[in-house]
Chain A
Amino acid sequence: MQKFSAFSLARQAMGRHLGWRPQWRSVVPKPSYDIIIVGGGGHGLGAAYYLAKQHGLCNIAVVERGWLAGGNTARNTTIIRSNYLFEQSSSYYEHALKLWEGLSEELNYNVMFSQRGCLMVAHTVHDVQVFKRHVYANRLNGIDNEWLTPEETKAFCPPLNISPNIRYPVLGAALQRRAGTARHDAVAWGFARAASDLGVDIIENCEVTGIDRDPSGKVTGVQTTRGPIRAGKIGVSAAGHSSVVLAMAGIRLPLQVNPLQALVSEPVKPAFPCVVMSNTIHAYISQSDKGEMVIGAGTDSYVSYTQRGGLHIPAHTLEAICELVPDFRRLRMLRSWGGITDNTPDRSPITAKTSVPGLYVNCGWGTGGFKATPGAANLFAWTIARDEPHPINAPFTIERFRDGTLIDEAAAAAVAH
């Protein structure tokens, strides 16, 4: 792997940058691998990386139906935080957050993880109760989260309107200082580069169309648009298409697929210092390094596999943004888009073995799995390598929907992104 640094950049500049090599190898699929990861998003690429790096399993391929990380990894609003309510969730997301904190060095790729702090703004007495419960629960779990008064909220994020005379006044906010954002593409590319360097084959434009199994039911490989590939184990991390892929092995997943939209403004000079989320009025906003206000809109309520939704959804979000930050009313929407999110009934993910031997799945991240990328990848790799879950992801089974051990963050009024 060509090392990335200011020094290497300067040295390559002398060679007019002609010396840079592809960040990941372009390969022809081999007939057989020990493990195939289906889905080249951040989660899938990361899983391949950790399998190679931590479990010494290098005969691996990641197969991706389109361009690498063109799914939700490329479409999300990059909010990263770990202050989830339930212990199971917060320890999963905290595992990820800790990995984020060292990820640029781990991958020798600047993923621009920026711990700008994330405010979850309360507008009603009920919000206050819920967010304070988060603060107490997180603190007990060793996760930073603190309560701010409206004035402290304003001091942390000056553009916010905390006037008591607005429709839903700001009554305070929960602040996780270690939360923030990262550069979504860089995470995927960084994992791809590091995994490729460890021998992982990354195969783009290759859609899995079938899962092969032997008479005992164990997986033996996949059918793809580029031909069959044999594999001893298959890990599916296909986000919105996970249920489609698992159906190829006869498994029905409790997933509902909905479009989720986002948008950015035209870039402006630094004007918004942190991430702000308001669950009650549906607004999520931060400012990217480029200067664009990155804004998460809501979920369209119908099931759809198209990567777009209705305009009334982002419009509603912008109503909320204009209330929360009235100075931004004259900013302009530059781009909007949608992704397809895979939502479980309890809005918590599945990172688990399946009932089919050799088949593993990591999905159900829905509207909020970017923040989990290194953590989910890491634990998914563990689960595949050892054929058993790590204690952190052990509760995140498919069976919980059958036995009732749900981890219902959404119902607990946590925010989904």
Chain B
Amino acid sequence: MSGAFRLAGRGRIDTARPVVFRFDGRMVRGYAGDTVASALLAEGRHLMGRSFKYHRPRGPVSAGSDEPNALVGVGEGGRYTPNLRATQVEIHDGMVVVSQNRAPSLRFDIGALNTLAAPVLPAGFYYKTFMWPRGFWDKVYEPLIRRAAGLGRAPTAPDPDHYALHYAHCDVLVAGGGPAGLAAALAAGQAGARVILCDENVEFGGSLLVDTHSLIDGLPGMTWVARIVAELERLPNVQLLTRCSAFNYGPHNMVALNQRLSDHLAAPPADMPRERIWQVRARDVVLAAGALERVLVFEGNDRPGIMLASAARTYLHRYGVACGRKAVVVTADDAAYRVALDLAEAGVKIAAIADLRPTPGGPVVEAVQSRGIAVLPATTIQRAHGHLRVTGAELAPIGADGTVGRGRTIACDLVLMSGGFTPSLHLHSQARGALRFDDALGVYVPGESVERVRSAGSCRGIFALDEVLRDGVVAGLAAAGGETGPVWTVTRQDAPGAGGFAGALPRRGPGHLALAFVDFQNDVTAKDVKLAVREGFRSIEHVKRYTTTGMATDQGKGSNVNALAIVSDVLGRTPQEVGLTTYRPPYTPVTFGAFAGHARGDQFDPLRLPPMDAWARAQGVVFEDVGLWRRARYFPRAGEDMAAAVARECRAVRGAAGIFDASTLGKIEVVGPDAAEFMNRFYVNAWTKLSIGKCRYGLVCRDSGFVYDDGVVGRIATDRFHVTTTTGGAAGVLNMMEDYLQTEWPDLDVWLTSITEQWAVIALQGPRARDILAPLVDGLDISAGAMPHMTLREGSIGGVPMRLFRVSFTGELGYEINVPSRQAQAVWDRVWQAGAVFGLMPYGTEAMHVLRAEKGYLIVGQETDGTMTPGDVGCGWAVSKVKPDFVGKRALALPAMNAPDRLQMVGVLTDDPQEVLEEGMQLVTAAETPVPASAEGHVTSSYFSPALGRSIAIAMVKGGRSRMGAALYAPRLEGPALKVTLVDPVFYDPEGARLND
């Protein structure tokens, strides 16, 4: 057997499979089934970590997820993970484990000097100091504090693993697979309910995993568990999940589980996710999360070798490890006696049992005494001795009046403590269930909940095994709506004795220098808690925040009740009056990557590709992200930068023709008898008179009167409009339409359908556009007379159905050819081929922006920023004066919306025609403007215009339309301000001759 403290023939580890791993560079031997903690304990090693503030040497106090001390870093490179609990990390061959928060080594940590300074570092000391001299806080003190704080070091390489997310529904979710949970799951499963049973442990069994005493139907606990699990596995309606913690209980029985899949494997399959989050919507929930043993608060209670009694029992029965050779037990309840018996039977010497209660008694106490173990009633532990390992316990009698007498020190290498058991209320409480203080038990238990949830077993304060099993069955049946469930007879068990202790143990003398820890990880002592109360922090939430008790990575699982008891003691109020702090999810920490699941890399957000994406890529396009879309920005040729490519594309459109994939434009079909009325109410424009086959530029405002979106709308039929929106605005406009239709105008008979994906849009723009297109369309006359600007025709192109719009966002003769997306590439290819002889060239969004700016066309989101009215951006003409109502009408009538000094859209020319302003530049009246100053306006769009051979810009300027010709200045971040002149924003072809060609 490896490890001097390993006991042959015990534990649930596989001694046939030795495992070797490294801890701080040293080889450690263990067995399959060991955790890092159990393997180290088997070597007699308790020291595994250092605390947060004082860097105190620490060993494990627990054997599970509530561990505050034994935190380690595991893995290497991208798989390195800090702050894992050594008590949960399953070892495998080659695993690399390091201790944390120590320098240079775990045994010798320079940071431990903080303990010497402890007298001047009480709770909240940092609020009272580090204020002088001013400016030193974030430059000097804070960096020092930060370096001392933190636990493990953060990973510094990307995580190569992947994570999965799974949604599930069930009738009954059972959280916790101890006796209560197993009983509930079986009862519910047999009643026919779809059941999910999860447990955070490696295997089911809960408290029975370490209970070798009790017998159910004459069987040892774990034999019974194996039988039940086998029965559950046979039920097709039951799903069993181990290594799976229920961590978040959301509204309406939405419970999230975190399943750990691969960390325990030395060589997991490459396609196996590391963890999986289950989002379970359960009709009913049974919480069977058990209870956690409480630590005792006494001087030196944090020395390595001091642990919960239940933890020692776990190491014994699950891992075959004796946590020491000679133990002192300090307890306030009966459970620790059974632990003492188990340990004694395994060969550990029990030097004494100090019982805080005056008259412990009952069968288990007698059994201990009959083994010759000394039981000291009414005895407390005054302090523990030792540094890197406990060396002795000073036990002292408690007099009838509560005073503590002189004690004697008993040498030992293990101190086991038990303050009684606290029901796990986290999930119940996360679901906003009420809590009730049970005076008899001295703990909180679950009260009413608004959810369909039941607690069963020790998480609601029921501790006797026979009652726990019955409680589980009752809960399972109630959740499943079943009538009869399984019945078992517990043939041997310990009766739970009365007792339990919370708060600081009584001691002799004031102990001003004594460090008795309430919250181990955060180094919060009983004195700290008392100081907080003294300083007026009476609410338990304030105590938590001022002292940081309960804010460590165990989230106060071991500390909250003790802190509460100390506060209630100092204030002289009942625990119920003081109350508990809010339980905040998650129950145990959950990996960020698990939440992200497969939403990473290209899957982070869905990527929307327009139909001609592959074609564009083949042309060597440069893309830009617009919303979810990836759009072609420009098509550089060899040796061209963006400016050169864009200039060439612009010249092609103005001189011959350009082709542009405009498919990302949002498209909505508005259909129904009331379609025109709907359009009238929704858009600022008037629609009734728009005849079939005609198009109109439409503007949408919010009810605030500010421009929200725009686009060309064509009338297909009396009751049918083909609406286009901006690329980014498509979803928002549809949502807003639906919102108004469903909540404001349910009287209107209208259907809305998103057709963005159905219709691809090929924009063909330029003086040769008609020449290219005319031979391609099937029997359609598109001559200037037959199909003027702002009209639409339905027809086909090479047999492909088509909605042809004659519209232009470039100022040239232009068409937007709408064809079904699947046939778009074929149509594009034909247009492309036909255009070759005319000098057709593809252009991207950048050229499109320049071309439209030359024409003074606005882009919603660039000229507008959500605070511009139609009038501001020169579209006052679009707003119907006669419609009785439309969205935004009331707002547009407000005085402020019509003030003469509103920002208005203007053109801007720099004195130097080669100087291109930066978008976002502010405009002021004087060349030398001292800061701070108010702006007269700002530049919204700015380009070099190939058509004009100079720079142009669009700006929003206060009262701009009446300031044409005025000079303003654009301050630069460095260097003198640039002088500009305000001009009309239409720079090119102001008469629109080219459009109507």
User: Which residues of A approach B to under 8 Å, CB–CB?
Assistant: 4-6, 8-10, 13, 16-18, 20-26, 67-68, 70, 74, 87, 91, 102, 104-105, 108-110, 112-116, 123-126, 129-137, 139-143, 146-147, 161, 166-168, 180, 183, 185-186, 189-190, 204, 265-272, 281, 287, 289-291, 306, 308, 310-311, 314-315, 318-323, 326-337, 345-346, 400, 402-406, 408, 410-413
Contacts and interface: CB of A to CB of B under 8 A. Distances in A.
B656 to A, nearest CB: 27
14 contacts: A4-B127, A21-B535, A22-B536, A23-B535, A23-B537, A109-B128, A126-B626, A129-B919, A141-B932, A268-B83, A290-B149, A329-B593, A330-B591, A336-B584
- B-side binding surface: helix, strand, loop or mixed? loop
A79 to B, nearest CB: 15
Nearest to A4: B128
User: Which of B52, B122, B125, B865 is most buried by chain A, counting CB atoms within 10 A of its CB?
Assistant: B865
Given A9-B128, A87-B935, A333-B589, 6 more contacts: A26-B538, A108-B131, A269-B153, A310-B251, A311-B254, A311-B279
A318 B595 contact: yes
Contact of B131 (A16, A105, A161, A411): A105
Q: Which 10 A-B residue pairings sit nearest by Cβ, starting from the closest?
A: A411-B866, A22-B536, A291-B150, A133-B920, A142-B932, A271-B154, A404-B894, A332-B589, A67-B539, A4-B128
A401 B403 CA distance: 68
Contacts of B26: none
A132 B918 contact: yes
Contacts of B370: none
Given A5-B128, A265-B592, A327 B156 contact: yes
Given A20-B534, A136-B973, A327-B158, A189 B122 contact: no
Interface residues of B, number: 113
B138 A115 contact: yes
Contacts of A140: 922, 924, 929, 931-935, 971
A332 B83 contact: yes
Given A68-B539, A110-B126, A326-B159, A404 B705 contact: yes
Interface string B898-929: 00000000000000000000111110100001
A269 B152 contact: yes
A143 B935 CA distance: 14
User: Which of A23, A310, A334, A410 is most buried by chain B, counting CB atoms within 10 A of its CB?
Assistant: A334
A411 B706 contact: yes
B23 interface: no
Contacts of B921: 136
B527 interface: yes
Interface in B65-120: 79-83, 119-120
Interface of B: 52, 79-83, 119-120, 122, 125-132, 134, 137-138, 142-143, 145-147, 149-159, 248, 250-251, 254, 256, 277, 279, 432, 510, 512, 527, 531, 534-539, 541-542, 545-546, 548, 551, 553, 555, 582, 584-586, 589-593, 595-597, 599-602, 604-605, 607, 624-626, 704-706, 728, 861-862, 865-867, 891, 894-897, 918-922, 924, 929, 931-935, 938, 971, 973
Contacts of A105: 131, 134
Nearest to B919: A129
Contact of A323 (B600, B894, B896, B971): B600
A291 B149 contact: yes
Contacts of A9: 120, 125, 128-129
A410 B704 CA distance: 13
A329 B592 contact: yes
A67 B540 CA distance: 9
User: Which of A270, A306, A323, A413 is most buried by chain B, counting CB atoms within 10 A of its CB?
Assistant: A270
B624 A124 contact: yes
Contacts of A326: 158-159
Contacts of A287: 146
Nearest to A146: B973
B592 A332 contact: yes
Contacts of A116: 138
Contacts of B938: 133, 136-137
A10 B129 CA distance: 10
A328 B137 contact: no
Given A133-B938, A322-B593, A113 B584 contact: no
Contacts of A270: 143, 146-147, 150
Contacts of A336: 248, 584-586
Contact of A110 (B52, B129, B277, B973): B129
A315 B555 CA distance: 20
A21 B973 CA distance: 52
Contact of A112 (B142, B586, B895): B142
A315 B142 contact: no
Nearest to A139: B973
B339 to A, nearest CB: 30
